[in-house]
Structure 1
Amino acid sequence: MTSYQIHTADTAADAAKEPLEVLEGAFGFVPAGAGLMANSPALINTFFSAFGHFRGGGTFGPDERQVLLLSNAVANRSEWAVAFHTLESLQDGVEPAVVEAIRQGKVPENPRMAALSTFTQSLIEKGGHVEDAAVIAFKAAGFTEEQVFEVITAVAISAMTNYTANLAWPPLEDAVAPHAWKAGSLASA
């Protein structure tokens, strides 16, 4: 098994330090996925910029952002990211039943969150080639044309973190460990 360094702001190259410092300030620790991405300043800085626009300039609320990111982590079968976004989802007000449904690979009962989760997972599973009916269903749940495209931002952000974690298998941080998840726990697996 290949081993990759999980960087902190102290160990990262100068070009990768700032994102790690900001993340450590926000979470109290450097998330392992970010520490791994810091092996490439291009990757961590691209992620950091995209996530900043998604969070700061996007139209989804904190709970909706987390449903997107958790759904993407499940679709990408990223065990580290599912655990991390479970913690974040619960902290950002996502109903525990919604979180658990997504973690099990099921559709949440909450209609709006179901549409959000279903649409983003469909984008991943179909490589962006979703049918018009999927877009119509997403918009019928109250989402906008702009948000159709904003979901693509979440998919791109998730690809960066999920693929990094899938490649490197980082350990779960203490705060994240209670939310451990295995890809084999999916209802469809």
Structure 2
Amino acid sequence: MHQYRVHTLESAPEKSTLALQGLKQAVGLIPNLAATMAESPTLINGFVGAFGNFHGGSFNGPQKQVLLLTNAVANTCAWAVAFHSTMALKEGVDADDVGAIRERRLPKDAKYAALSSFTRVLIDKRGHVGEQDISAFTGVGFGQDQVLEVIAGLAVSVMANYAGNITNPALDEPFEAQYWKA
């Protein structure tokens, strides 16, 4: 198996350092997954740009984490599941709802359930969702624009989840309590 370096600001390729600095400011540390993604300036810069764009969207913090956690579970990226479980709990998502998503079940909260379900349907159907899928999502109060915004969340997740599955970084200490195995 290929080994990927967990870069620091000093060891990262020059074209990756600005993205890592931005993540350090936003998250408070450079997560190991991002540090491995820095091996490719194209990937880390694309990720940070998409990350910032998605986080500036209309979903609130808990909703973003429900979407990202659902994606991490669907993509079986253990690092991202631990990270987004930690962030979801920090954002106030009920621990039972976090546990449900981690176990591939729907949360009890109706909006979270609709968001998690629609996210999984988009992944499973590769975007070929039906009107019934969209209606189930918008029927709990999400807008038509948010149907498309879920795709932005998927794009961010795919970059991180696939990179995590390839680079297999060590889990950072702040996320160890949420360790997950597929």
TM-score of the superposed pair, with normalisation by structure 2: 0.97
Deviation of 1:142 after TM superposition, in Å, equals 0.6
Q: How far apart, CA to CA, are the structure 2 residues paired with 1:86 and 1:119?
A: 19
**Where does residue 129 of structure 1 map in the other structure?**
128
Deviation of 1:28 after TM superposition, in Å, equals 3.0
Q: Deviations over 1:100-128 (max 9, x none)?
A: 10011101111100000000111112111
Secondary structure, aligned partner of 1:175: helix
Q: How far apart, CA to CA, are the structure 2 residues paired with 1:83 and 1:35?
A: 16
**Where does residue 186 of structure 1 map in the other structure?**
none
**Where does residue 5 of structure 2 map in the other structure?**
5
Amino acid at match of 1:20: L
Summarize the alignment of residues 1-189 of structure 1 with structure 2, pairs less than 5 Å apart: 1-56=1-56, 58-183=57-182
**Where does residue 187 of structure 1 map in the other structure?**
none
Secondary structure, aligned partner of 2:58: coil
Amino acid at match of 1:75: A
Deviation of 1:181 after TM superposition, in Å, equals 0.3
Deviation of 1:33 after TM superposition, in Å, equals 1.6
What stretches of structure 2 of length at least 5 have no aligned partner? none
**Mapped contact 2:138–2:144 kept (Cα < 8 A):** yes
Deviation of 1:169 after TM superposition, in Å, equals 1.2
Q: How far apart, CA to CA, are the structure 2 residues paired with 1:93 and 1:8?
A: 31
Deviation of 1:27 after TM superposition, in Å, equals 2.7
Q: How far apart, CA to CA, are the structure 1 residues paired with 2:48 and 2:178?
A: 24
Q: CA RMSD in A?
A: 0.9
Q: Deviations over 1:150-182 (max 9, x none)?
A: 000000000000000011111100001110001
Q: Deviations over 1:66-100 (max 9, x none)?
A: 00000000111111100010111111111111111
Q: How far apart, CA to CA, are the structure 2 residues paired with 1:126 and 1:171?
A: 31
What stretches of structure 1 of length at least 5 have no aligned partner? 184-189
Deviation of 1:25 after TM superposition, in Å, equals 2.6
Percent identical among aligned pairs is 45
